[in-house]
Structure 1
Amino acid sequence: MTTPHLARTPYRTLGRSGTVVFEQALGTMTFGSEADEPTSHAIIDFYVAAGGNLIDTADIYSAGRSEEIIGRWLAAHPSEAAGIVLATKGRFPTGPGPNEVGTSRRHLRTALESSLRRLGVEHIDLYQMHAWDAITPVDETLSFLDDAISAGKIGYYGFSNFTGWQLTKATMLAERRGWSAPVTLQPQYSLLVRGIEHEIVPAALDAGIGLLPWSPLGGGWLSGKYLRDVRPEGATRLGENPERGMEAWKQRNEDPRTWQIVDAVAEIAEAHGASSSQVALAWLVAQPGVTSVILGARSVEQMRDNLGAVELELTAEESEKLTAVSAPAIDDYPYGTPGRAQRHRGLSR
């Protein structure tokens, strides 16, 4: 199999930990659903051969099949598996019972053991809470995670889909109790979705937490595969399954900001002889706090194109253009107060 020639293989520390990961992580939500096992294994082969070492999954991806597919690849490639930084998640329902969901000690104990079994390993490098649990006390969750680290079942832990206050509360509680601190946060983040820059990014930077953005291509919009006012068809997720999110597609299609961003990305891509996906990824990986962007793929061809972003260097002017055209709205209080707007214009009262 032909692998890409990378001018560099950039690695970064996993948040404030000492573990080093590739700046592009392999997301595996497609494994077992949109990518069958042979295709999934081929994607892993290609990713690892290109220098990638961070594989991210979750217990609910394809009802556990994603973890099983990864587990069989790890078992079949023991030498390569030794270099993999393995990440998974727990939180969402794994059964019909009232205790088969959430971040309680009871549910996480069974969820973690099940993930270890499906992955065929005794240790998971990064165990992530897939979302906030408003019912379980935070100290119960953090105490379990600290115990899991002490027991050698996980190396680190992180969160996904947390707000700024939730992230700060958990981080400060862990510090106050003397427990192991979180090292990562998985938020949705891309040129199209930058709302986390208001509170979540500052909270993560303050705590030394690394960001692992999911949906870095905005659900495919930043790849350039969607056309203005043209309903998706063919080999796209919405084309194959229109009910999946057609209403969201309509809203994004009707938003002028979407096409300003898509057009700017395409223009820069043409100047570099690169793909739109590569430009969008190159911008995102350079943002403050970003450790590694999570790339989902349904084929080796998609993974090959995405990995090409590692070779792409945007100029300062290009990065500034993308940042300006995609700037998130700050009209709402407290971000858009009159005083703040005047200060942004260099005025004072």
Structure 2
Amino acid sequence: MQYRQLGRSALKVSELCLGTMNFGPRTSESESFDILNRAVDAGINFIDTANQYGGDLGVGTTETLLGKWLAEDSSRRDRLVLATKVHEPMSDDVNDRGLSARHIQMACDASLKRLGVDHIDLYQMHHIDRLAPIEEIWQAMERLINQGKITYVGSSNFPGWGIARANEKAIAKQKMGLISEQSLYNLIERSAELEVIPACREYGLGLIPWSPQAGGLLSGPAQDSEGRRKSEGMKNAATERAGQLQQYHQLCAELNEPPSAIALAWLLHQPQVSATIIGPGNIDQLVSVLHVPEIRLSRQSLDKLDEIFPPRGEAPEAYAW
């Protein structure tokens, strides 16, 4: 396993970040534990979750499952970079959501209890909250830092202007601000290249791409029948992009790597990426991508991927002059 700094911080994280959204609703507790054990054995030290994860089993289920696994061995916690998120509705209560200072404090305390830990390494705002003043958000985050409950703050699904606004407010107070942004980014969906990635570069945020397989489109035909890939929307998307995907699969065959591995490897060749999320639903899916940090794509292969999936460019040059 290879490790990189998370943005401009001195914190080092594994290039593969274990996403846990499947744990509980799709992947049983026992298999989730097997995945966690195998991931840690392989050198993965970065685990990402969210307070809302749990699907039909209810919000908080995934954090609770992680808490049970951490409790099995008290030495696990100190070896891991543990990340979770706040913003999404946790109940029908009108204040049990968003990024008010009240909700941030209460949500953090609830996550700590479910996880069974005394601090969270990376506390991420799951979405932007246009109703919450950034001064109120930083007041809450600084309070949590001072209480020793969180160490770093990150964003998720933020636009470029949101990253800039948040960090300019932090800079004005001589605070560190955001160190990471977790964003939708993959070979098919490259909109982050317009403004999010330039903002991350300017303010020193490490990018953590989610949905690196584009919901399964980039995983290869052998896995097309699993999970979300059964939906009509995914089937239509695969039909619309049949030509692109055929070229992609041909290139992967020439590189002697599965499409899922090349999709992840491409992300790790992008300079702003600190780690990419992997979200295995079973142990086989995890094992199939553990070698990805070792893949080195040539300039020719990277150019070919850009030819198949054209880049968006950066703002404002992409759409103005």
Same-fold call, TM cutoff 0.5: yes
| Conserved? CA contact 2:155–2:178, under 8 Å | yes
3-state DSSP class of the match of 1:103?
coil
Q: Distance between the aligned counterparts of 1:192 and 1:177, measured in 2?
A: 38
Is 1:318 aligned to 2:301, yes or no?
yes
1:174 — aligned with what? 170
Q: Distance between the aligned counterparts of 1:77 and 1:264, measured in 2?
A: 46
State the AA in 1 paired with 2:82: L
Q: Distance between the aligned counterparts of 1:265 and 1:22, measured in 2?
A: 27
Q: Please, which of 249, 254, 258 is the counterpart of residue 266 of structure 1?
A: 249
2:233 — aligned with what? 247
After TM superposition, give the deviation of residue 89 of structure 1 in Å: 0.1
State the AA in 2 paired with 1:271: E
Per-residue displacement from partner, 1:72-107 (whole Å, max 9, x unpaired)? 111112223321100000001111111111000111
Q: Please, which of 238, 257, 264 is the counterpart of residue 281 of structure 1?
A: 264
| Conserved? CA contact 1:139–1:173, under 8 Å | yes
1:39 — aligned with what? 31
Q: Distance between the aligned counterparts of 1:336 and 1:226, measured in 2?
A: 38
> Residues 319 and 334 (structure 1 numbering): CA distance in 2 closer, same or farther, change over 3 Å?
closer
Q: Please, which of 101, 121, 128 is the counterpart of residue 132 of structure 1?
A: 128
* TM-score with structure 2 setting the length: 0.93
| Conserved? CA contact 2:185–2:209, under 8 Å | yes
Q: Please, which of 231, 236, 252 is the counterpart of residue 227 of structure 2?
A: 236
After TM superposition, give the deviation of residue 236 of structure 1 in Å: 3.4
Q: Please, which of 102, 114, 118 is the counterpart of residue 98 of structure 2?
A: 102
Is 1:55 aligned to 2:47, yes or no?
yes
Structure 2 spans left out of the alignment, 5+ residues: none
Is 1:309 aligned to 2:285, yes or no?
no
- Is the radius of gyration larger for structure 1 or structure 2? 1
* TM-score with structure 1 setting the length: 0.86
| Conserved? CA contact 1:143–1:179, under 8 Å | no
Q: Distance between the aligned counterparts of 1:333 and 1:70, measured in 2?
A: 42
Q: Please, which of 271, 274, 291 is the counterpart of residue 291 of structure 1?
A: 274
| Conserved? CA contact 2:47–2:81, under 8 Å | yes
| Conserved? CA contact 1:16–1:208, under 8 Å | yes
> Residues 329 and 209 (structure 1 numbering): CA distance in 2 closer, same or farther, change over 3 Å?
closer
State the AA in 1 paired with 2:85: K
After TM superposition, give the deviation of residue 249 of structure 1 in Å: 4.0
2:85 — aligned with what? 89
After TM superposition, give the deviation of residue 334 of structure 1 in Å: 6.5
3-state DSSP class of the match of 2:163?
helix
Q: Distance between the aligned counterparts of 2:316 and 2:10, measured in 1?
A: 39
| Conserved? CA contact 2:181–2:207, under 8 Å | yes
| Conserved? CA contact 1:264–1:322, under 8 Å | no
Q: Please, which of 6, 10, 14 is the counterpart of residue 2 of structure 2?
A: 10
Q: Please, which of 106, 110, 113 is the counterpart of residue 117 of structure 1?
A: 113
3-state DSSP class of the match of 1:187?
strand
3-state DSSP class of the match of 1:178?
coil
Q: Please, which of 55, 71, 84 is the counterpart of residue 67 of structure 2?
A: 71
1:80 — aligned with what? 76
After TM superposition, give the deviation of residue 43 of structure 1 in Å: 0.6
State the AA in 1 paired with 2:252: A
1:145 — aligned with what? 141
State the AA in 2 paired with 1:53: N
Q: Distance between the aligned counterparts of 1:36 and 1:253, measured in 2?
A: 29
Aligned residues between the structures: 317
| Conserved? CA contact 1:128–1:158, under 8 Å | yes
State the AA in 2 paired with 1:197: E
1:210 — aligned with what? 206
Structure 1 spans left out of the alignment, 5+ residues: 1-8, 341-349
3-state DSSP class of the match of 1:88?
strand
| Percent identity between the two aligned chains | 36
